Structure 1
Amino acid sequence: MTDTPLESWLCMVRLKGIGALTGNRILEAYGDPASYLDATEADRAARGLPRVAVTAPRGRAAVEDGVAADQRWAEAADCHIITLNDPRYPPPLARIADPPPVLFLRGDAEALLAPQIAIVGARHASENGRRTAEEFAAHLSAAGLTITSGLALGIDTAAHEGALAVNGPTVAVMATGPDRVYPRENRGLAHAIGHCGAIVTEMPVGTPVTRGLFPRRNRLIAALSVGTVVIEAGRNSGALGTAYRAIEADREAMAVPGSIHNPVVKGCHALIRAGARLVESADQVIEEIARAVEDFTPRVPASNNEDNTETGHPASDWTALDPQEIAVLEAMGHDPVAFDTLLRRASLTPDILSSILLKLELSGDIAPCSGGYYMRTSNRAGG
């Protein structure tokens, strides 16, 4: 038997077969989980609940240990369990068709109530993509938006780090229980996010990594945010699911384009063809959000249109480069290019080209890509 209202919520979401959709049908029928749990099976059936919801409370005893684990987790000062009837529950999330009845949050619960912008993309992102995500996030965070992402490697990590770099709030939405961080490499990042924002999940304590839970996480990222920006995504990237959920939820969906030869941006181009906004700068994202969010005014002025088209930061020139370095950048163009191709275009020997590429990589002007390719990362004037 459950003794408190919170225990009844935790019990309901742990019952076998009770997901977000069924949980919301239960709440519509009974108003609160306690009344549902105390009702007879005949009454549950009479109210039109599906068979799984009619019989699920038979397993109440089996979830008692899990409910106790949830409550122990919430004893920490920075750990919160937020139910759908809690005033701290984010209104944008409550308005979707399948809002999670319970949220498990570590950090600042107020972070969920501020205007959020999601930045998502490829796990195996290029250096250029990661840099774009980090700089977009920093710029948008400085403008007053909370950066939301999924704590995955690649673009997600860069987005969180970009917000933290300017001491801005960021929200990480996880597919696991609140006591588990995935991937393990991001444990330190998760700790930092807990201090400067929030980590949130709908999954109870102890829930392990399961592939099928990531689409559920993605719907939360899209629903919490006023808009979703996709930076690098292949045709089958999970980031596309987040963007399409944003469109379904009547949120803004935006994508950063890239080279037509780069497979990691094929998903971005597909999104643009499907109606997502093409954005080349953080300021363009702010323009879209300003139209969608009532009374939103950026804390910093939008930068000049002649600035860097990827980040809004001032463009640099080529005065610091020698003629051979300039020649290599011009030969490289703006698409990933192979070493042998550069040899032919720049008419250099392999040892000289290797030396120039190393200097340009150290200066941040180029980055190596998979397959032995290189790609420009900056918008130097004159290029």
Structure 2
Amino acid sequence: MTGADARTWLRFALVPGVGPRRQLALLRSFGNPEAALGAARTALAPLLPGELIEPWFAARDGACDAAVDAHLAWLSEPGNHLLTLADDEYPRVWLDLPDAPAVLFLKGNKGLLALDALAVVGSRNATPQGLDNAYAFAGALSQAGYPVVSGLAAGIDAAAHRGGLSGPGSTVAVVGTGLDRVYPAANRTLAHQIVQQGLIVSEFALGAMPRAEHFPRRNRLIAALARGTLVIEAALGSGSLITARQAAELGREVFAIPGSIHSPVARGCHRLIKDGAKLVESAEDVLGELGWGGSRSAPPRAADVAAVATPDGDEGKVLQAAGYDPVDFDTLLARCNLTADRLCAILLGLEMNGAIAALPGGRYQRR
């Protein structure tokens, strides 16, 4: 793409208030951004509401040029890319969307968009076991050569990206802000690692803040880009269920990992399974359902990756008493027939060894 082409696409895409659906309608009517920007008022009237006509003409006459120049300067930096509907590299799977973005901003290895991928999403307030599962499943898929797609949120998303980075498949982060921002800020280091080894994608212009309405739009891109979506821990009101629903509506596979019937972050997964999502227990379940059995390398079982050997003696007794549901200290004390001091010491050792995790509210969970 020439600089002039990029300028035209940016001027077209940065008109305030004109979103993807209207941009697609304009492109269908006029064929290209230049023709749309040069169209007469009478030709635009059926496609744009009255309050957007003047901003459209203002953009054509240079009102957005400062923003366009800022984006062109950003694009001149190594690793930054603009992807438009006219580019051969634009993923055809996004054309399944009725509001496919006219332009996308990329940072990193854009070649990952051409590969079969799996989306891994879930709760921001994940349990330690959920984080382990996300890392293990994503790592196994990446070791098999398949990119892991997620949304760079806290919790399951971040663990999935880290798992993706652990193998050759790498990871793609689709975000709900401009690419000059990282949200949440706690994921800044992770975002830099993804830029070096994977790819970050946004349909939002530079400077775009993390607004609530941006994240369902981000989720639809995640659902459409991947061959399937795996949900690991989700409450009933979770945005991950929106991603799963969008994936199902697009004809993609939906997978879910079951959890404890007592866990709020398992109820969303259980609902998905009741509604027809495939219950999975290992990465091989996902690979097999997607027909990816002939992977480029033999992936480890996710359960094996996360497994911790059960010790003997009192430590083993405590782990057995803990089960796999969150449990409070007093319940463990009654089950183990140990003194409180002895149980405290054992729990501390098990926590340091990664066999058990401390949860909020004085509870513990086996990992």
TM-score tier after normalising by the smaller chain length: over 0.9
Alignment partner of 1:330 is 2:314 = no
Could you tell me how far 1:300 is from its partner in structure 2? 2.6
Percent of pairs identical after alignment? Answer: 44
8 Å Cα contact 1:12-1:18 kept in structure 2: no
Residue identity matched to 1:17: G
Query: In the aligned structure 2, how far is the partner of 1:165 from the partner of 1:23?
Result: 38
Could you tell me how far 1:59 is from its partner in structure 2? 3.1
Q: Which runs of 5+ in 1 are unaligned?
A: 378-383
- CA 1:197/1:302 → structure 2, altered by over 3 Å: closer, same or farther? closer
Which deviations, in whole Å up to 9, do the C-alpha atoms of 1:34-60 show, x marking residues without a partner? 101101010223xx4142565541331
Query: How do 1:86-97 and structure 2 match up within 5 A?
Result: 86-97=87-98
Which deviations, in whole Å up to 9, do the C-alpha atoms of 1:140-184 show, x marking residues without a partner? 001111011111111111111112123442111111111111111
8 Å Cα contact 2:26-2:47 kept in structure 1: yes
Query: In the aligned structure 1, how far is the partner of 2:306 from the partner of 2:153?
Result: 29
What secondary structure, in the 3-state scheme, does the structure 1 residue paired with 2:64 have? helix
Could you tell me how far 1:327 is from its partner in structure 2? 1.4
Query: In the aligned structure 2, how far is the partner of 1:279 from the partner of 1:50?
Result: 46
Please, which moves more after superposition, 98-107 or 325-334?
325-334
Could you tell me how far 1:316 is from its partner in structure 2? 5.9
Query: How do 1:229-244 and structure 2 match up within 5 A?
Result: 229-244=230-245
8 Å Cα contact 2:308-2:355 kept in structure 1: no
Which deviations, in whole Å up to 9, do the C-alpha atoms of 1:312-368 show, x marking residues without a partner? 5496653xx232112111211121111111111111111111111112112222111
8 Å Cα contact 1:118-1:225 kept in structure 2: yes
Query: In the aligned structure 2, how far is the partner of 1:162 from the partner of 1:226?
Result: 18
- CA 1:127/1:87 → structure 2, altered by over 3 Å: closer, same or farther? same
Residue identity matched to 1:24: L
Which deviations, in whole Å up to 9, do the C-alpha atoms of 1:265-302 show, x marking residues without a partner? 11111111121111111111111221xx7xx7312336
Counterpart residue number, 2:58: 59
Query: How do 1:200-349 and structure 2 match up within 5 A?
Result: 200-290=201-291, 297-301=294-298, 310-313=302-305, 317-318=309-310, 321-349=311-339
- CA 1:149/1:314 → structure 2, altered by over 3 Å: closer, same or farther? closer
- CA 1:56/1:29 → structure 2, altered by over 3 Å: closer, same or farther? farther
Alignment partner of 1:352 is 2:342 = yes
- CA 1:113/1:39 → structure 2, altered by over 3 Å: closer, same or farther? same
Alignment partner of 1:366 is 2:364 = no
Q: Which runs of 5+ in 2 are unaligned?
A: none
Query: In the aligned structure 2, how far is the partner of 1:324 from the partner of 1:154?
Result: 32
What secondary structure, in the 3-state scheme, does the structure 2 residue paired with 1:65 have? helix
Counterpart residue number, 2:157: 156
- CA 1:322/1:297 → structure 2, altered by over 3 Å: closer, same or farther? closer
8 Å Cα contact 2:144-2:169 kept in structure 1: no
Counterpart residue number, 1:11: 11
Give RMSD over aligned pairs.
1.8
Query: In the aligned structure 1, how far is the partner of 2:366 from the partner of 2:180?
Result: 40
Query: In the aligned structure 1, how far is the partner of 2:231 from the partner of 2:143?
Result: 19
Query: In the aligned structure 1, how far is the partner of 2:118 from the partner of 2:58?
Result: 39
Which deviations, in whole Å up to 9, do the C-alpha atoms of 1:106-141 show, x marking residues without a partner? 111111111111111111111111111111111000
Residue identity matched to 1:59: A
Alignment partner of 1:169 is 2:159 = no
Size of the aligned set, in residue pairs, is 362
| TM-score for the superposition, normalised by structure 1 | 0.90
| TM-score for the superposition, normalised by structure 2 | 0.94
Residue identity matched to 1:371: G
